[in-house]
Amino acid sequence: MPPAGLYLHIPFCAARCAYCDFYSLPVGPSSASGAGIGSGADWRIRYPELLKSHMRQFAGADAIRLPGLPRSLSAAAFSRFDTLYLGGGTPTVLPPETLADLISTALDLFPFVPGSDGIEITMEANPGTLSGADLTLLKSAGVTRLNFGVQSFSDAALALLGRIHTACEAVDIIRAARDAGFDNLGLDLIYGLPGQTEEEWDADLNAALARAPEHLSCYLLTYEPGTPLSRKAAAGALTPLSDDGCGDLLRHTRRRLHSSGYAGYEVSSFALRAGRKDFRSRHNRKYWTGAPYLGLGPAAHSFLPPDTRFHQAPDLAEYAKRIQAGDSPVTEVEALTAEQRFIEGVCLGLRRAEGIAPEELPGLSGEKARAVFKNRLRNLEIQGFLERTEGRWHLTESGWPVMDGVIRRLI
């Protein structure tokens, strides 16, 4: 079994973005009120201590006891780690010294084994929440990969998305990261904004490419229920870009980035091709390949191969209460059926450039089932949405923009 990845969730943001439905709390006196970790300014100290207590609960355990399961599960899948990812929320609303302490604690408590490129330690960061001095400290703390949530280099787009930073602040912090010695930078961008044209999106891509990041994540804007953007769309205050318009922007993204030396290894992820150096996210690839990963912090998810997924309490008050009592904060456990494993195998496999090999898909058993599935693959190949290379089926350039529809026809 491959080494696991460790994810630490920092559930605080300077402000909630207009499109975000992730679990996070705004920074300020109300963020910890009633959450069992104090109130006001001291949440910055108390929450990291809770997270370290959570780490100690898992570290060194021979078995994992999960609510609702009749027996404990072996913790062997979590006996080796090679990636650490601090995400949120916005980790960099915490002081850099606190983040450095969390990294040090994780490395001390869990058995990390360096891969050929060492241990990958990723920090999510947002412009406007840290300084050049902070970046220098994070670099010295062992962060090897810095991922900035830029989202756009247009101030008008940033305002629509509810971001707190300006385009100039994004450019400045990227420059500061280079000055601090970071040689593996990732930038997140969002496309498919209401009325967005190819020229407007290309301006964002050009601005990003001018910074020569090692990694780019280009996400299609989605209107999640309950978010300010979805409410505006429902009220007719804005009109989402059409599916055809979004598909055209994805095609342009792939052409533009491929011609600029980036390889698309997942539907939203592009890594710079640089000789033997691999800039693909090792941690994120665990989510897509069925590798084990352990998520700690409120609302964090974990996967224990081959079929067990468990979630931490999606509420800071409940999470704090359980940690302080010495209880497990796990509130949901899912034992995947054979059918669910098959569906996930198709969905996650086709997101990746490598695609899928039918014989590797879990839950696809029986001669008849395999024959039906292969017939569906061949029909999609005839229509130009899939192609086969060395026994693996993957999306064509025509298939990427309609990936969801291709998957629906396969499952």
Nearest to 265 by CA among 175, 355, 392: 355
Asked if residue 78 lies in contact with residue 59, where contact means CB atoms within 8 angstroms, the answer is no
pTM, to two decimals: 0.94
Say if 116 falls within a structural domain: yes
Judgement on whether residues 248 and 367 belong to the same structural domain of the protein? no
pLDDT in the model for residue 30? 53
Distances from the Cα of 319 to the Cα of 47, 95, 300, 357, angstroms:
10, 22, 11, 40
Using CB atoms within 10 Å of the CB of residue 170, give its burial: 0 to 12 exposed, 13 to 18 middle, 19+ buried. buried
What whole-number distance in Å separates Cα of residue 10 and Cα of residue 31?
13
- Among residues 286, 313, 328, the one where a domain terminates is 286
Judgement on whether residues 364 and 255 belong to the same structural domain of the protein? no
- Report the alpha-carbon angle 126-161-95, nearest 5: 20
What whole-number distance in Å separates Cα of residue 386 and Cα of residue 350?
10
3-state secondary structure 329-378: CEEEEEECCHHHHHHHHHHHHHHECCCECHHHCCCCCCHHHHHHHHHHHH
Judgement on whether residues 269 and 356 belong to the same structural domain of the protein? no
**Cβ neighbours around 238 below 10 Å, total:** 15
Say if 98 falls within a structural domain: yes
Taking every pair of C-alpha atoms in the chain, what is the biggest distance, in angstroms?
Answer: 62
Q: What is the β-pairing status of strands 308-312 and 392-395? A: unpaired
Q: What is the β-pairing status of strands 269-274 and 262-266? A: antiparallel
Asked if residue 306 lies in contact with residue 2, where contact means CB atoms within 8 angstroms, the answer is no
Judgement on whether residues 345 and 279 belong to the same structural domain of the protein? no
Judgement on whether residues 75 and 143 belong to the same structural domain of the protein? yes
Judgement on whether residues 233 and 100 belong to the same structural domain of the protein? yes
**Which residue numbers in the chain have pLDDT < 50?**
39-41
What whole-number distance in Å separates Cα of residue 15 and Cα of residue 126?
11
**Cβ neighbours around 361 below 10 Å, total:** 18
| 182 Rama class: left (phi>0) / alpha (psi -120 to 50) / beta | beta
Say if 187 falls within a structural domain: yes
What whole-number distance in Å separates Cα of residue 153 and Cα of residue 158?
8
pLDDT in tens, 193-231: 999 999 999 999 999 999 999 999 999 999 999 999 999
Say if 309 falls within a structural domain: no
Say if 374 falls within a structural domain: yes
What whole-number distance in Å separates Cα of residue 332 and Cα of residue 310?
6
DSSP 42: G
Six-digit token string for 295: 């998520």
State the CATH number of the domain containing residue 119. 3.30.750.200
Return phi, psi of residue 399, to 5°. -80, -30
What's the total number of domains in the chain? 2
Judgement on whether residues 272 and 345 belong to the same structural domain of the protein? no
Judgement on whether residues 281 and 135 belong to the same structural domain of the protein? yes
pLDDT in tens, 123-170: 999 999 999 999 999 999 999 999 999 999 999 999 999 999 999 999
Say if 317 falls within a structural domain: no
CA atoms within 13 A on the CB side of 266: 21
What whole-number distance in Å separates Cα of residue 400 and Cα of residue 406?
9
- Classify 249 as helix, strand or coil: helix
Six-digit token string for 405: 């529809």
Say if 92 falls within a structural domain: yes
pLDDT in the model for residue 373? 93
What whole-number distance in Å separates Cα of residue 217 and Cα of residue 266?
9
Judgement on whether residues 11 and 77 belong to the same structural domain of the protein? yes
- Cis peptide preceding 306, ω within 30 of 0: yes
Which residue matches tokens 């460790």? Answer: 6
Task: List Cβ neighbours of 110 (8 Å cut-off, separation of 6 or more).
Answer: 6, 55, 58, 59, 78, 81
In sequence order, the β-bridge partners of residue 86 are 8, 123
Return phi, psi of residue 115, to 5°. -85, -165
Q: Tell me the angle at which helices 132-140 and 167-179 cross, rounded to the nearest 10 degrees.
A: 40
CA atoms within 13 A on the CB side of 408: 4
Judgement on whether residues 282 and 169 belong to the same structural domain of the protein? yes
Judgement on whether residues 141 and 235 belong to the same structural domain of the protein? yes
Element (H, E) at 406: helix 403-410
What whole-number distance in Å separates Cα of residue 205 and Cα of residue 202?
5
Please report which residue ranges of 265-357 form alpha helices under DSSP H: 282-289, 316-324, 338-351
The boundaries of the domain holding residue 30 are: 4-286
- Classify 221 as helix, strand or coil: coil
pLDDT in the model for residue 200? 98
